[in-house]
Structure 1
C-alpha cells in the first residue's frame, strides 16, 4: 500500500542551533521527491526525521495518515539506503537482504521468496551466496537497495546513495533506480543529494534546501526553466545571473536594451536576469551583446565560452567550434526573449 510523507512545520535543533527550520513539505504517494542542497542545508536532517533518527523540536512527521513523530524507526514501515552501504561484512548477500525481514519476524518460509524477489529486482540474484567484500561498490549498493525493498516499504529513503561510486557506476545506478521506480510505482521515495544531475534525472519534484530552510519546490522542468530565486537558478543547473534594470519594453544590461518578459515589474527597479548557458548563441541575433572572451573550455561536444560584458561574466555553451575565438577576442552573443527569466533582485528565499 502506497504512503506519502508529510512534513508539518518540522524544526530540528542541536544545542540551540537550528538545522531544519519549519519545513512544510508533502511527498505524494508514489512520488520521487529529491531534497537538493549544499552541505549543511538541512536535507539529510529532514530525511533522518522521517527515519526516526532525530526528534523534531517542533512540528510533526506523517507517513500516510499516521503521525510517526514519536514512533521508533522499526515501527515506521520504511526502507533506507545510505551512501556507505552499511552491509554486514560477515553475512552473505542473501542474509544481508533477509536481515530486516527477520527483525520483523516474517515467517521463514516467506523470507526466502522475498529475498529472491528483491535480489532479482536489483539484478543481484546470481550473487546471493557472496560476501560484501567479494562485490564491487555498485554491487554492494544494489544489495543495500535490495535489503531496503525486501520489507516492501511504503516509503524508501535514499541518503546520497551514489556519492561513493565513480562517475560511470553512478550513471548506471541512476538508470537502475529509475527502472526500479517504474516497477514500484506505489513506493514514495525521498532522495537526498547535492548532485543536481541525480535530482534532475530521477525526481518527479525537487525541493531545494539552503541554510536549514526550504527555498523552492517544483518539477525539474519548472525549477530549471523558471526558477523563482537566484539560489535555485544557480544550484539547479548553471545559470547566467545578470544584474539589470527594468525598462519600458524589457530590461537594460550594460547600457543595452534587451527585450524580455518583465512580468509587470516596476520600471526602474533592479532585477536579475537568468539565462541558461546553452541558450546563449554565438553571433548576431535577438538580444545581442558584445563582449571579450576571458576563457574558453573544450567539453567534447561543446565549447564553453566565458565572456566579459561590461564587467559581468556571461557563459555560452556552443556546439564544438572548429576555430574557436581566442582569449581577448571580441565576440557577439545573443539569446531569445523567451529563454530569459526575470528574478527580483536579492530574492533568495522561497
Structure 2
C-alpha cells in the first residue's frame, strides 16, 4: 500500500475525515447521452468544510453533476477533483465519498448496525474499530437506540437517519446528498433539516454537495448555492446574496418567488405602466428597459414610498399571511401581508408601497441598484 492510501486508511480507522480528499473541484465537466447534453461545461468549486447546494428545477443538470462527482456517470469533457486527487477515471468505490440518496437504499435483510457497518467492511476497516465507529455514527444521527432493528421497523425519517449514519461511518472528506429529504412529509423534513444543520456544525471539515429543488433546504443549509437551469450553471453565491441581490431573472424567480415587473429607466428612477418609481438605476441610460425585482413580503399596504394603486384580483390565505394578487396596469404584483384582520376583497382598489432599497433592478447596464 502506498503512503497516501495508507494514511487515508489510518484516518478512517481513527474515525477522522480524510482531509486530503476534502473539497470538490469540477473543471469544465460536460455529460451527454446520445448527443443530448445534460450537463454543459460546469465549473464549480466546493471548499473544504463548505456546504454547497445545487438548486434547480427537474432536468436542470444538478443530479447529473452530483453523479459525475460520485463516479456514476462519465464526463465526455472536463475533470473532477476531490481535494488534490483527479478522480475522473476512478470508480465510485475508490473515491472515498459518502453518499445519501432519496430512497435511502438500505439493505432490508440487515439490521441497522449492519447497514451502517457495510461501508466500513467494504473498505476493510480494522474489525476491532467497526463497532465503535458504527456506534458513533448512530449516536451522531440520533439512532443509537435502534441498532438492532430492521429497516422495515423504522419510519421514513428514521430510515433516512440510518442512511446518513452509514455515509458518515466511513468518515468521508466529501459527503454527497441527492435530494435526501424529498420523500419525507413536511414535519419530518423540517426535523431532518435541523439535524443536517447540526451535523454540519459537528463535522466542520467535511465538504457537502447537496442536490435539491427545494429553496428552503438550500437557504437553510448551504454556505453557497449554485443555481442551475437547462444543463448550465446560472448563478452562484451565498443565500443572502442570491435572495437579496439576485443577478438574473431566473435566480430571482426560483430563489424566493420574487415579483418581476418590466420597467423603463427614467431620469428619476423607473416607469411602471405610467407610474414613476424613485430608485437608484446604476449606470443604465434613460429609456433602457429593465426588470424590477421585489419580494412579496417587502411590500406594504397603504400609502408610502413608491406607492402603486391597483385592483385585487386574487387573495390567498396562507396562515400567517394573506397573499394579495393586485393588477397594476396589466401587471400582476404579489404582496404577502401579515396580520390582516379585515383583508380587502376581490375587486377592491388598494394602494401598495415598497422602499427603494428593498428593490433590485435587473437588466443590461443597470447594476445592482
Same fold (TM over 0.5): yes
Question: Is 1:123 matched with 2:142?
Answer: yes
Aligned residues: 347
Q: Distance in 2 between matches of 1:152 and 1:244?
A: 52
Q: Distance in 1 between matches of 2:196 and 2:116?
A: 17
Q: Which of 110, 126, 130 is the equivalent residue of 1:107? A: 126
Correspondence for 1:256 = 275
Q: Deviations over 1:217-272 (max 9, x none)?
A: 00000000000000000000111100000111210001011112211112101110
Q: Distance in 2 between matches of 1:40 and 1:302?
A: 32
Q: Distance in 2 between matches of 1:48 and 1:261?
A: 43
Correspondence for 1:148 = 167
Q: Deviations over 1:140-193 (max 9, x none)?
A: 000000000000000000000000000000000000000000000000000000
5+ residue gaps, structure 2, are: 1-17
TM-fit CA distance, 1:194: 0.2
TM-fit CA distance, 1:301: 1.4
Q: Which of 95, 107, 128 is the equivalent residue of 2:114? A: 95
Correspondence for 1:66 = 85
TM-fit CA distance, 1:297: 1.1
What is the Cα-based RMSD across aligned positions, in Å?
A: 1.1
Question: Is 1:13 matched with 2:42?
Answer: no
Correspondence for 2:14 = none
Contact 1:86 1:144 in 2 (8 A): yes
Q: Secondary structure at the match of 1:305?
A: strand
Question: Segments of 4+ in structure 1 off by > 6 A?
Answer: none
Contact 1:284 1:332 in 2 (8 A): yes
Q: Which of 227, 237, 242 is the equivalent residue of 1:223? A: 242
Q: Distance in 1 between matches of 2:339 and 2:312?
A: 16
Alignment of structure 1 residues 227-238 onto 2, 5 Å: 227-238=246-257
Correspondence for 2:182 = 163
Question: Is 1:328 matched with 2:347?
Answer: yes
Q: Deviations over 1:297-349 (max 9, x none)?
A: 1111111100000000001111121111000000000000000000017x9xx
Contact 1:96 1:147 in 2 (8 A): yes
Correspondence for 2:301 = 282
Contact 1:32 1:189 in 2 (8 A): yes
Q: Deviations over 1:11-43 (max 9, x none)?
A: 000000000000001001000000000000000
Correspondence for 2:3 = none
Q: Which of 230, 242, 251 is the equivalent residue of 1:211? A: 230
* TM-score using structure 1 length: 0.98
Question: Is 1:135 matched with 2:154?
Answer: yes
